[in-house]
Amino acid sequence: MTYDPIKLEIFKHLFAAVAEEMGTVLRKSSYSPNIKERRDFSCALFDSHRRMVAQAAHIPVHLGSMPLSVEAAVQYLADDLHPGDVIILNDPFRGGTHLPDITMVSPIFLKNALTAETAESAGKKLLFSGGNETLIGFVASRAHHADVGGMTPGSMPVAREIYQEGLIIPPVKLVRGGKTDPAILELILANVRTPQERKGDLQAQIAANQRGAERFMELVIRYGVEEVNEAMDQLVAYTERMTRHLLSSLPDGDYSFSDTLDNDGITPDPVPIVVNVNIHGEEATVDFTGSAPQQQGSINAVEAITLSAVTYVFRCLVGLDVPNNAGCLKPIRVIAPAGTVVNAMAPAPVAGGNVETSQRIVDVLLGALAQACPDKIPAASQGTMNNVTIGGADLTTHSVPGGRARQFAYYETIGGGMGARPNADGGSAIHSHMTNTLNTPVEALEYAYPLRIRKYAIRAGSGGEGKFKGGDGIVRDIEMLTDCQVTLLTERRVSMPYGLAGGKPGECGENVILHDGKETPLPGKGTVDLKAGDVLSIRTPGGGGYGVK
């Protein structure tokens, strides 16, 4: 069936605008610097068949995983979905990624008796009305909350089981018919260290979902259900066609690559990730058989993370302004054996799978595809998100009611070097691949937390040499103004980001404590107690070089 390409382009932007506006509402109404400043969130629009139709340009690691959250929400509450509902979940084994990523899913309904005469006056009431209605789609938002309980502030510990990582939320209704369930909200807030901040961020997500539902309803009222559904179908089909076109342009064959995570934080052993990419015509099979079994420590990735990484890599290779939707993965079969580090089973700890293992999955995929299309693939970027969580009692401010000191939980990922490209140097001091966040500005960090930034600079010379040089990493020195507990989940402290075509690898990262003029090295993963006046220095990896110099 043919479809007007101009109309298709218009709808592509209309649907994307729904998700983008949701993100604007979430960012501007949130409380925490992690969401407001770093923009660690994603928003997306889905059709009534739970296919992702549009995702805003937010976080790549959410590309392939948010649809599983919508699927889980519908699976568990299919017979109890009504206008104005908002379903909340974070369970990694039921559609989530890791516990700090809380997802909210809202079904959107249209009254069956709606007419052109009544549509314009119906407005927002449609979102919360009862009676005869038809499910026409979903909106979803996912945000990384700076603390959801668990054994360490920030909820990113080196744990041995998921129960140590924080509060697990199965798919439940936080909002029913437009009214928040106070019991569910209080249960969540009673299990986190920063309840006021969490409440504000949760309310921001609810507001974002409501705005998305309103905007989508406006499209349906303006164009009609049939036209909107047809546009959704055509956009998914368009993305699938473009992905198939990409695959057909690559030479048929098997392309294998392997790389390692430094360790799981419990034992010092490297953790291999292996991939074989088979290209055959306009289809591909991505097989992770041979990857390490799931680990004791919290670097395990659930299947949703692996799907996200695969989607991200092939979406990048398409190279055109195609929408981010379910069509990207249709021609690609992913094999991720259950019980491995790329498809862990409960109750495995997974805090680092979303942020660290996802990066290495991208590294091995790009390494394999560099054999098929070397002119399109960069050398390895830093290969880590350099996760830092700091928390404790903020003794620099007044106490909360009841005489207790205010608790704080700071979370950040830190950029590094980007891998050199076949025709250009890699960017320095930048987030790459599965993260798309900003840094926390110095002013915002120092205003919100009992912390002070002593140094924030490019780590000169850390990028790999080559015809084109890998980007340099970052040095970020953070002084504690009160006694704190610090947890690090970082990678590429042992294995270096690889170069390509004869380029040299980037330098490994370093974690160091500065105290009284002395440097004490820290492992890549672990928790340490620091005193007021101690300085944590994070020195991030550089990217690999490309080509012989």
Element (H, E) at 457: strand 451-459
The residue with tokens 């404790």 is 392
Predicted local distance difference test score (pLDDT) of residue 111: 74
Classify residue 38: in a domain, yes or no: yes
Classify residue 354: in a domain, yes or no: no
Strands 387-394 and 406-412: antiparallel
Secondary structure of 294-343 in HEC code, one letter for each residue: CCCCCCCCCHHHHHHHHHHHHHHHHCCCCCCCHHHHCCEEEECCCCECCE
Q: Are 531 and 386 contained in the same domain? A: yes
Closest CA to 153 of 542, 538, 485, 436: 485
Intervals of the chain under pLDDT 70: 1-2, 58, 63, 112-132, 397-404
Predicted local distance difference test score (pLDDT) of residue 133: 81
CA dihedral 544, 278, 385, 355 (to 10 degrees): -170
Classify residue 107: in a domain, yes or no: yes
Predicted local distance difference test score (pLDDT) of residue 398: 52
Classify residue 75: in a domain, yes or no: yes
Classify residue 251: in a domain, yes or no: no
Range of the domain at 182: 5-241
pTM comes to 0.94
Q: How many domains does the chain have?
A: 2
500, 370 contact by CB (below 8 A): yes
Strand partners, 528: 486
144, 34 contact by CB (below 8 A): yes
* Token code pair at residue 333: 């079969």
Predicted local distance difference test score (pLDDT) of residue 324: 86
Predicted local distance difference test score (pLDDT) of residue 438: 86
- Give the relative orientation of helices 225-249 and 303-318 as an angle to the nearest 10 degrees: 80
Classify residue 306: in a domain, yes or no: no
Domain-terminating residue out of 191, 218, 241 = 241
Helical H runs in 42-94?
Answer: 66-77
Domain-terminating residue out of 241, 268, 283 = 241
The residue with tokens 């820290």 is 522
Classify residue 365: in a domain, yes or no: no
Classify residue 278: in a domain, yes or no: no
Domain-terminating residue out of 190, 206, 241 = 241
